[in-house]
Amino acid sequence: MRVVYILWLREVKKYLRSRTQMIASLGSPLMYLGVLGFGLGPVFRRAGEGDYLQFMAPGVVGMTVLFTSMFSGIALLWDRQFGFLKETLVAPVPRIWIMAGRTLGGATVATLQGLLIFAVSLVAGFRPLGFAALPSALFVMILTAVVFSALGTVLGSSLKDMQGFQLVMNFLVMPIFFLSGALYPLANLPKVLAALTRIDPLTYGVDGMRGALIGVTHFGVALDVLALAGVAALLLCAGAWRFSKIEI
Amino acid sequence: MIRVENLVKRFGDVTAVDDVSFEVRRGEVFAFLGPNGAGKTTTIKMLTTLLRPTGGRLEFDGLDPVAERDEVRRRFGVVFQDPSLDQELTAWENMEIHGVLYGVPRRERRERAEELLKLFELWERRGALVKTFSGGMRRRLEIARGLLHTPKVLFLDEPTLGLDPQSRNQMWAHVKKLNESDGVTVFLTTHYMDEAERVADRIAIIDHGRIVATGSARELKEQTGADSLEGAFLALTGTTIRDEAPTAADGMRQMARMWRGSGR
């Protein structure tokens, strides 16, 4: 247990220490909130959907969680050849502890980063229903972070080089984001798009947070939580399996 | 301490280690000398339980590295060819994590970490992030860390690669001291002749995955009638030391150097 804890602590410590990185990672969410939020706001209102900033803020939080947790998983790739991973892999401890420490650490960091963006969106004018909504939104956020940290671990353990990383960014992470309904409502979508959004785990994360924070939800928060928990369990197993296969 | 018999490792149809046998005695400094790609690192990886042998027998302090993996792991410390420190953490934190991973009790962990950091002249910098360290300091820290759990054998894979001569000398002075005072067995790989000759009690010359000769530097010279280890190496392998074709890992290594700027 101490091993899981110290590896978790390592991730969190590094995050809290890297001020520049923290600030740099505020960039794209701020742009989405500012430029898209205010730019598309009038159109969204005219279409009778209400305030766009209210609608998209949970989506931007979801995006932040997605990117941060995927990055920490994929950092494995780098760590494996030139970093700390070897040190942990020759230690006399079961690999699953190492995987657990890393993945939970990555999920914690992603949650913290999500909370930071949430705070920023409050400053930008986002107004959730009430403080009572926060715990359930946080719970959905944590589940989302676990899902994508585990997915990051699966990919980070399976890829062989940095070219693969580009591939993952363009053909997995970006589609996950754009298909999640973070930026648009899920109702009345073309059939193909609707089907794709339904297999995207982030859809449930964003929908769940939206449900908790502003009371607008497509599937219902309960179903969202169920879907996320199921996917998380699946990906954690896959991550543990892939991680156990790493050869260095 | 270590006994290797007819060890073979194949990757697909490439035979990286081809029927290698040797023995490392308790308390000695044993060197694997050979060019890049000769099979040195692959052998170390098998001895340190990171790779499974395709064939042959391994014995580490009377244990089998494949079947009794964790027991074997507790008994050695290893410094890899590529750095494996966490650069975003301090020297002290790197030591702490290592201690926890190896289950060293807190008090012992702290005492031993202090002792080793002092020995390797890093104590004053224990609170500084590793990324602010020079190449020599990082290597010293890796060695200190590898010794934290009081291993019986210390594996050093090309430990002086990319270090300036001064740091190399300093590093070997420390390792020699530990070898003599604590009796730690040292197994190192290198492709520097002078280094092998100066620090190792016995040397095994390895080329194309096979051991060509084993003995002290003097024995190797006598055996071949050469007046230097370089001459002996030439006589035994028919070539001077050379670099083989770069592998994917070398490509990554180059990229890492570029990105991190500060070299290794």
Higher pLDDT, A77 or A192: A192
Contact state of B256 with A161 under an 8 Å Cβ cutoff: no
- B49-53 average pLDDT score: 90
Q: With bands split at pLDDT 50, 70 and 90, how would you rate the model's confidence at B181?
A: confident
ipTM for the complex shown: 0.86
Per-residue pLDDT for B31 more than 90?
A: yes
The predicted-structure confidence for A78-116, as pLDDT tens digits, reads as follows: 788 677 898 999 999 999 999 999 999 999 999 999 999
Partner residue facing B70 (CB), from A3, A81, A92: A92
Across the interface, of A78, A82, A93, the residue whose CB is closest to B101 is: A93
Q: Which pLDDT belongs to residue B251?
A: 63
Q: What is the pTM of this model?
A: 0.86
Place of tokens 């053909």: A171
- Rounded to 5 degrees, φ, ψ at A49 are -100, 0
A102-113: burial string, b at 16+ Cβ within 10 Å, e else:
bbbbbbbbbbbb
pLDDT digits (tens, 9 = 90+) for B184-195: 999 999 888 888
For residue B264, pLDDT over 50 is answered with no
Residues on chain B touching A3 (C-beta within 8 angstroms): 100-101
Highest mean pLDDT among A3-12, A178-187, B154-163: A3-12
Q: Pick from B82, B86, B252: which is nearest to A10 by CB?
A: B86
A7 at B interface, C-beta within 8 A: yes
Compute the distance between CA of residue B36 and CA of residue B262 in angstroms, rounded to an integer: 23
CB-based contacts of A39, cutoff 8 Å, min separation 6 = none
Could you count the other beta carbons within 10 Å of the beta carbon of residue A198? 16
Is residue A224 within 8 A of residue A136, CB to CB? The reply is no
Q: Chain A contacts of B74, Cβ < 8 Å?
A: 92
Q: CA B70 to CA B102: how far, in whole Å?
A: 10
Percent of chain A surpassing pLDDT 70: 99
Strand partners, B202: B30
C-alpha dihedral, A172 to A178 to A180 to A184, nearest 10° = 180
pLDDT tens-digit map of A32-59: 888 888 888 888 888 877 888 899 999 9
Residue A182 phi/psi, 5-degree rounding, is -70, -30
**Cβ of B84 and A86 within 8 Å?**
yes
Q: What percent of chain B shows pLDDT beyond 90?
A: 55
Domains and CATH numbers, chain B: 2-260 (3.40.50.300)
Give the list of residues 6+ apart from residue B137 with CB closer than 8 angstroms, or none.
B122, B125
What pLDDT, on a 0 to 100 scale, did the predictor assign at position A73? Answer: 82
Taking a C-beta distance cutoff of 8 angstroms, is the pair A75, A149 a contact? no
B96–A82 C-beta distance less than 8 A? no
Does the pLDDT at position B118 exceed 50? yes
Domain coverage including residue A143: 2-244
How far is the alpha carbon of B9 from chain A, nearest alpha carbon, in Å? Answer: 14
Per-residue model confidence (pLDDT) at position B55: 92
What's the Cα-to-Cα distance from A207 to each of A27, A166, A198, A214, A224, rounded to whole Å? Answer: 23, 28, 11, 10, 7
User: Is there a contact between A6 and B97 if contact means CB atoms under 8 Å apart?
Assistant: yes
Number of domains in chain A: 1
- The answer to whether the Cα torsion of A210, A216, A218, A221 is positive or negative is positive
Contact B24, B30 (CB under 8 A): yes
**Segment B204-257, tens digit of pLDDT:** 999 888 998 999 988 988 888 888 888 888 888 776 655 555 566 666 666 665
Cα B250 to Cα A50, A248, B257: the distances in Å are 56, 14, 11
- B86, B254, B264: which to substitute to probe chain A, counting the most A Cβ within 10 Å? B86
Return the SS3 of B187. Answer: strand
Q: What angle do CA B67, B73, B77 make, to 5 degrees?
A: 150
**Side by side, which strands form the sheet with B153-157?**
B76-79, B153-157, B185-190, B29-33, B202-207, B210-215
- Name the E strands within B61-182: 76-79, 153-157
Query: Once rounded to an integer, what is the mean pLDDT over residues B65-78?
Result: 92
Residue with tokens 């390895």, as numbered in its chain: B206
Average pLDDT over residues B67-87: 92
pLDDT single digits (tens) A166-225 = 888 889 999 999 999 898 888 888 999 999 999 999 999 999 999 999 988 999 999 999
Mean pLDDT of chain A, nearest integer: 90
Q: How many CB atoms lie within 10 A of CB A27?
A: 9
- For residue B106, give the chain A residue with the closest CA: A2
pLDDT reported for residue B255: 63
Q: Report yes or no: A161 at the B interface, CB cutoff 8 Å.
A: yes
